[in-house]
Amino acid sequence: MDSDNRKDRSDLSRRQFLVHSAGVAGASLGLSATRAADSSCPGAEVRLGFIGLGDRGRQLLGAALASANARVTALCDLDPAKLKRSLRIAEAREDSGSGPQGFTNYRALLDSRDVDAVVISTPVHLHLPQTLAALAAGRHVYCEKPLGLDVGECRQLRDACREAESRGQLYQCGLQRRYNPRYRESVRYLQGKEPGKILFVRAQWHGVASSRKNKPWLFRQEKSGGLVLEQGTHQFDVFNWIFDSPPLAAVALGGMNNPEASAPLQDTPDHYGAILEYPGGAKVQLSHMNYSIPERRFSGAYELVFCERAGVDVANALVWDTSGKSRELCGIRGNETRLAMASFLDSLLEGKRPEADIEVAYRATLSSLLCSRALESEGKISWDELESS
């Protein structure tokens, strides 16, 4: 990253991370730690249980079934139809001859001796209790973002994951852009010297409401935290990654402008616009809405970064110089969900910290909550104000 950005960057979160990391540096992590007392467990594969088998859960299930390092041993969902469908998928893909066991109670799944790690993809309000229960049961955890619904939940989960790390357990958050080759190469380029200082970022996430009508929980504030938290955390994580820092402050405005198109949205905004301030003076402008037109010029997500000597389309790994000449930074696309799952499995087998670990997830989720707080107050909210609340 440009020296001006580095010089001005707030390093509080980095110091906290380093202090914590020093405390667990000597701990054995991954399966080598949690399987130490059970010599009957094979070391070359991870036995996975899945909690939540909706659209995202089945995507993660498919990613696990595609890996030679995973064996799916347990599936759980409250909906019998979703459970049955996922059991059929797993049974058709597993080569062991016996498919996974099905559960409708996640605590029963956690009691199974055939599960090393759990993959949680349930509504946001369940992330905290289910992750805490999994850690207490001695399981490693891959959980979808965000951490929780408020700062208190995030802090509680962060502390629990730090404690679990001292016992050798790993936590990875579902921030899969961290594993996307194009995002990785774009961020590497932006943190180098060639583009110069980052001046401004323009980003959007415009979705089509009709695609979300099968997720009623998404449209209730007490279950999802709204669009800002449940969906926006991905992009807030990208911003933090680019700047190697959480934002210093945020302002935001939004509301419900199109209730008919946004149904069944009930008590969450269907659109908002936010400006975030990062160390070094750079600003991020984000537009997020739920009722976009299904055409590429209106819909979709992107992050465009304006630098002193270049412009970068992060998602597509494209860079333009000041003469308008462009080049591709990375031609590899890859399936980021499969790559994230593969990295989780590697972390468990090799005993290494995941890249999208609890510290990354904490900063990403609090960045979303910072924007949510600014949206509620219709004023400027600082990171320090949020963390002290």
**162-200, pLDDT tens digit by residue?**
999 999 999 999 999 999 999 999 999 999 999 999 999
Phi, psi of 131 (to 5 degrees): -70, -40
Give the CATH fold of the 178-331+369-387 domain: Dihydrodipicolinate Reductase; domain 2 (3.30.360)
Q: Are 7 and 284 in contact (CB under 8 A)?
A: no
- The letter for the amino acid at 245 is S
Q: What is the mean pLDDT of residues 358-365?
A: 99
Q: Are 91 and 97 in contact (CB under 8 A)?
A: no
**Domain map (residue ranges) of the chain:** 9-176+338-357, 178-331+369-387
C-alpha span between 378 and 63 (Å, rounded):
41
Tokens, residue 223: 């279950």
Q: Are 304 and 310 in contact (CB under 8 A)?
A: no
C-alpha span between 355 and 344 (Å, rounded):
9
DSSP H stretches of helix in 25-97: 31-34, 55-65, 80-93
252 pLDDT above the threshold of 80:
yes
pLDDT at 191: 98
Categorize the per-residue pLDDT at 217 as very low, low, confident or very high, splitting at 50, 70 and 90. confident
Q: What is the DSSP letter of 70?
A: E
Q: Are 261 and 267 in contact (CB under 8 A)?
A: no
Q: Which residues of 350-370 are buried (b: 16+ CB within 10 A; e: fewer)?
A: ebebbbbbbbbbbbbbbbbbb
Q: What is the DSSP letter of 100?
A: P
- Cis check for the bond before 264: say yes or no (omega within 30 of 0): yes
Q: Are 339 and 346 in contact (CB under 8 A)?
A: no
C-alpha span between 171 and 79 (Å, rounded):
26
Q: For the range 210-215, what are the long-range contacts, defined as Cβ-Cβ under 8 Å and sequence gap of 24 or more?
A: 212/290, 213/263, 213/264, 214/55, 215/54, 215/55
C-alpha span between 8 and 103 (Å, rounded):
51
pLDDT at 97: 61
Categorize the per-residue pLDDT at 279 as very low, low, confident or very high, splitting at 50, 70 and 90. very high
Q: Are 226 and 369 in contact (CB under 8 A)?
A: no
Quick one: what percent of the chain has pLDDT higher than 70?
A: 85
Q: Which residue has the higher pLDDT, 9 or 168?
A: 168
**pLDDT, tens digit (0-9, with 9 covering 90-100), for 97-112:** 678 999 999 999 999 9
Tokens, residue 105: 């109670």
14 pLDDT above the threshold of 80:
no
Q: Are 166 and 33 in contact (CB under 8 A)?
A: no
Q: Are 182 and 316 in contact (CB under 8 A)?
A: yes
**pLDDT, tens digit (0-9, with 9 covering 90-100), for 101-150:** 999 999 999 999 999 999 999 999 999 999 999 999 999 999 999 999 99
C-alpha span between 195 and 303 (Å, rounded):
16
Q: How is 341-383 classified by DSSP, letter by letter?
A: HHHHHHHHHHT---SS-HHHHHHHHHHHHHHHHHHHHTS-EEH
Same fold, 9-176+338-357 and 178-331+369-387: no
Tokens, residue 172: 């990875």
Tokens, residue 18: 């380093």
CB count within 10 Å of CB 342 equals 19
Tokens, residue 9: 């960057």
Strands 310-313 and 318-321, by their bridges, are antiparallel
pLDDT at 264: 57
Residue with tokens 């994230």: 340
pLDDT at 262: 55
**pLDDT, tens digit (0-9, with 9 covering 90-100), for 320-341:** 999 999 999 998 889 999 999 9
Quick one: what percent of the chain has pLDDT higher than 90?
A: 74
44 pLDDT above the threshold of 90:
no
pLDDT at 296: 84
Q: Identify the CATH assignment for 9-176+338-357 out of 3.40.50.720, 3.40.50.620, 3.40.50.360, 3.40.190.10.
A: 3.40.50.720
- Cis check for the bond before 195: say yes or no (omega within 30 of 0): no
Categorize the per-residue pLDDT at 4 as very low, low, confident or very high, splitting at 50, 70 and 90. very low
